[in-house]
Amino acid sequence: MEFEKYKVMQFPRDVIVGHSVMHTIPSLIPLYSRSDEIVIITGNTTYEIVGREIEGMLKDANYSPHVIKTGDATYDNLMKCEEEARGVKPGIMIGIGGGSKIDLTKKAAFDLSVPFISVPTSPSHDGIASPRASIKKGPVILSENARMPIAIVADTSILIKAPYRYLAAGAADVISNVTAVLDWKLANRIKGEEVSSSAATLAEYAASELIEKAHLILPGVEESVWLVTKQILASGTAMAIASSSRPASGSEHLFTHAIEMTGKGKAIHGELCAMGTVASMFLHGGDWKKLVSVFKTLNISLKSSDYGLTDEEVIDALSTAHKIRPERYTILGESDLSHNAAQRALEITTII
Ligand SMILES: [Zn+2]
């Protein structure tokens, strides 16, 4: 039989992380674009904190930045951003913000076929370095194919301004790789799904770094932001190697998406990942107690009620999460997890 395997991997060209690195942005532009026209997608608050300064730096370097201030990552906002950006005909786009602005830029840049620079202002999840965008259409959150950033500029002096809760959540999103990889290996055994061992190893490494160094992830310490951001970027690289979110997204993310889709409660992405990864580790028969203590160190609660969720909503999400992406085989299986099993996972993991 002829050899027919092939794989496409997309990586960012420049990843710049550390103190005050946003000042490198003007010098990056000519590497990727011959046009002076730049579209910046950001939000009102982020514009005041950092967007205005970046706009000023670009103007000083004789570029023509066009700022689009938008809101949540909804399909309507995406259409508005794309329409406005098309009128500008930018050579490059820059997304400045937490999750939603980066998601909108990622997808808009993909649709307009222009490169984009990711400038995260919150270290709260691994989407800042991935090629997929979560866009909300009505009640449904779509995980859309989008563009990998051509450059990531993660300035720790900006990221430190986000509340500690976001940093802890970002760490939890990376730590959840442990169950994502267990699910991937399970899918390999049960379904014959291909596993990239380099991607799996890197994803596990990123998680283990943060598990071991959880006590160093502290509020108000820029080095803590550095620690977490580096592993968020490593997670992104694992996804790039795999050409899929598989190494960083398994049953714990299916659970997370199941809750996110209900729109209930006020937990942020990484906090749901923390709950999901503990429950999933329990179902895998692994060391879930260690995860519970790590999340405690990060001051992340695993109790549904702390997020305005009822136990029943969490049990329901855990039982039915397998339906969200049926092609992604995980420990949650292919039929509803029994109510008893889900309830037990919830009770045991939230007792400590
Ligand atoms: Zn995530």
What pLDDT score does 131 carry?
78
Walk me through the domains of the chain, giving residue ranges and CATH numbers: 14-159 (3.40.50.1970), 164-351 (1.20.1090.10)
What pLDDT score does 351 carry?
56
What pLDDT score does 129 carry?
79
Q: Distance from the CA of 191 to the center of ligand 1, in angstroms? A: 24
pLDDT at 348 over 80: no
pLDDT at 19 over 70: yes
Q: Distance from the CA of 27 to the center of ligand 1, in angstroms? A: 31
Q: How many residues does the chain have?
A: 352
What's at 107, amino acid-wise? Answer: K
Q: Once rounded to an integer, what is the mean pLDDT over residues 261-278?
A: 94
Q: Rounded CA gap, 280 and 24, in Å?
A: 41
Q: Are 25 and 153 in contact, with CB atoms under 8 Å apart? A: yes
Q: Distance from the CA of 74 to the center of ligand 1, in angstroms? A: 18
Outline where 243-338 has alpha helix (H). 251-262, 269-284, 288-297, 311-320
CA torsion angle 238 33 115 80 (round to 10):
150
pLDDT at 85 over 70: yes
Q: Give residues whose Cβ lies within 5 Å of ion ligand 1.
A: 125, 173
**Neighbour tally for 56: CB within 10 Å:** 11
pTM over 0.75: yes
Q: Distance from the CA of 56 to the center of ligand 1, in angstroms? A: 33
Q: Distance from the CA of 89 to the center of ligand 1, in angstroms? A: 32
Q: Once rounded to an integer, what is the mean pLDDT over residues 17-44?
A: 97
Q: Distance from the CA of 270 to the center of ligand 1, in angstroms? A: 6
Q: Distance from the CA of 207 to the center of ligand 1, in angstroms? A: 12
Q: Distance from the CA of 51 to the center of ligand 1, in angstroms? A: 25
Confidence of residue 237 (pLDDT cuts 50, 70, 90): very high
Q: Which residue has the tokens 């397998």?
A: 322
Confidence of residue 335 (pLDDT cuts 50, 70, 90): confident
Q: Distance from the CA of 160 to the center of ligand 1, in angstroms? A: 20
Q: Which residue has the tokens 């997020």?
A: 307
Q: Are 3 and 52 in contact, with CB atoms under 8 Å apart? A: no
Q: Distance from the CA of 125 to the center of ligand 1, in angstroms? A: 6
Q: Distance from the CA of 87 to the center of ligand 1, in angstroms? A: 33
pLDDT at 25 over 60: yes
Q: Distance from the CA of 126 to the center of ligand 1, in angstroms? A: 6
Q: Distance from the CA of 276 to the center of ligand 1, in angstroms? A: 11
pLDDT above 90 covers what percent of the chain? Answer: 82
The three-class DSSP label of residue 95 is: strand
**Neighbour tally for 136: CB within 10 Å:** 20
Q: Are 279 and 345 in contact, with CB atoms under 8 Å apart? A: yes
Q: Token pair for residue 302?
A: 């695993």
Q: Distance from the CA of 150 to the center of ligand 1, in angstroms? A: 21
Q: Distance from the CA of 30 to the center of ligand 1, in angstroms? A: 32
Q: Distance from the CA of 249 to the center of ligand 1, in angstroms? A: 7
Q: Distance from the CA of 307 to the center of ligand 1, in angstroms? A: 18
Q: Distance from the CA of 127 to the center of ligand 1, in angstroms? A: 7
Q: Once rounded to an integer, what is the mean pLDDT over residues 288-316?
A: 95
Give me Rg for the CA atoms of the chain: 20
Pick from 29, 50, 56: which is nearest to 150 by CA?
Answer: 29
Pick from 123, 103, 209, 116: which is nearest to 166 by CA?
Answer: 123
Average per-residue pLDDT in the chain? Answer: 94
What pLDDT score does 75 carry?
95
Structure confidence by residue, pLDDT tens digits, 86-139: 999 999 999 999 889 999 999 999 999 999 999 999 998 888 878 788 898 887
Q: Rounded CA gap, 274 and 253, in Å?
A: 10
What pLDDT score does 126 carry?
83
The three-class DSSP label of residue 332 is: coil
What's at 42, amino acid-wise? Answer: T
Q: Distance from the CA of 79 to the center of ligand 1, in angstroms? A: 24
